[in-house]
């Protein structure tokens, strides 16, 4: 399968085994209630995969350690790449890992920055089976307290949503870059159900179940909601052909941000955008411009 073909498939269709999709279809028809619980478990379970070769250099050259995040009682794996007092925090997306933004990290290193990134709970080398956005947000706050303040924060996909929320909640930084970031949590659950070949009734039940489980409306974490409280200069990057997150989400978040600019690419999808030279150049220029 070519990179271009992969870009046209949502991550669930790429990584979920066929038998899981069969179970999903069956349960959706037989019992939407049971299907919603099955879907919720899948929704909270990151996909595991081997370290890609393109990320190996960053992995091997980083100082790596496990640390406990007390507020969630979960372990994360921390990557410190480069040695500099000028630090950037990198926040990966769902089913990603701390080296996912490796090409961006390498470019920042050449500009004199070090990066701190992490495997969120149940991601990459971090232990655990399930994860959720609050785990990401609490981990970001923990890293900021221990290794910050950061000159900038860069978040991809769910990492972008988590970064928006963390900054809205009070994390101090000079600039924010979000890439391929979703806006509405309800829409995320609907898209997930569709990709898992489940009905929208299952999606509705799953969303309600998650709201009850975590004691709040998960739409409170939506990108545009958090964006209203983010005052720092923000760069919103998204691709027209992103099949995981619709490009209109980028415009909605951009419109909600008090101080932002937007970069729309074409043909890079949800993942290849992280390695594109023009995108990386835009990111480094955006960050370095703040210290002029």
How many CA atoms lie less than 13 Å away from 24 in the CB half-sphere?
A: 26
For residue 174, give the 3-state DSSP assignment. strand
Peptide bond into 142 cis (omega under 30): no
Report pLDDT digits (tens) over 95-116. 999 999 999 999 999 999 999 9
> Which residues fall within 8 angstroms of residue 59, CB to CB, at 6 or more apart?
51, 79, 99, 102
Residue-averaged pLDDT of the chain: 91
Query: What is the spatial distance between Cα 201 and Cα 17, in angstroms, rounded to a whole number?
Result: 23
Q: What is the pLDDT of residue 226?
A: 95
Query: What is the spatial distance between Cα 162 and Cα 165, in angstroms, rounded to a whole number?
Result: 5
| List of domains in the chain | 61-184+217-291 (3.40.50.1820)
pTM of the model: 0.91
Report pLDDT digits (tens) over 254-292. 999 999 999 999 999 999 999 999 999 999 999 998 543
Query: What is the spatial distance between Cα 194 and Cα 155, in angstroms, rounded to a whole number?
Result: 25
């Amino acid at each position: 399968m070519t990179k271009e073909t992969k870009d046209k498939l949502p991550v669930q269709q790429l990584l979920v085994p066929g038998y899981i999709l069969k179970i999903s279809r069956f349960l959706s028809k037989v019992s939407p209630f049971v299907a919603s619980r099955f879907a919720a478990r899948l929704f909270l379970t990151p996909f595991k995969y081997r370290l890609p070769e393109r990320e190996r250099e960053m992995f091997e050259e980083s100082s790596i350690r496990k640390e406990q995040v007390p507020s969630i009682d979960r372990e994360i794996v921390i990557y410190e790449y480069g040695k500099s007092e000028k630090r950037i925090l990198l926040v990966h997306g769902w089913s990603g890992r701390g080296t996912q933004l490796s090409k961006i990290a390498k470019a920042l290193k050449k500009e004199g920055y070090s990066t701190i990134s992490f495997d969120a709970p149940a991601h990459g080398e971090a232990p655990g089976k399930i994860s959720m956005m609050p785990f990401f947000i609490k981990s970001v706050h923990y890293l900021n307290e221990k290794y910050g303040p950061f000159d900038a924060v860069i978040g991809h996909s769910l990492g972008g949503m988590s970064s928006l929320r963390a900054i809205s909640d009070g994390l101090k930084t000079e600039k924010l870059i979000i890439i391929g970031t979703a806006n509405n949590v309800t829409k995320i659950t609907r898209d997930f159900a569709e990709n898992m070949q489940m009905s929208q009734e299952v999606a509705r039940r799953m969303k309600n179940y998650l709201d009850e489980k975590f004691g709040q409306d998960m739409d409170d974490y939506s990108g545009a909601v958090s964006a209203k409280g983010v005052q720092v200069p923000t760069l919103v990057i998204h691709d027209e052909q992103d099949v995981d997150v619709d490009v209109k989400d980028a415009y909605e978040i951009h419109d909600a941000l008090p101080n932002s600019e937007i970069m729309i690419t074409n043909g890079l999808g949800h993942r290849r955008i992280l390695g594109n030279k023009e995108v990386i150049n835009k990111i480094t220029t955006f960050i370095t411009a703040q210290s002029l």
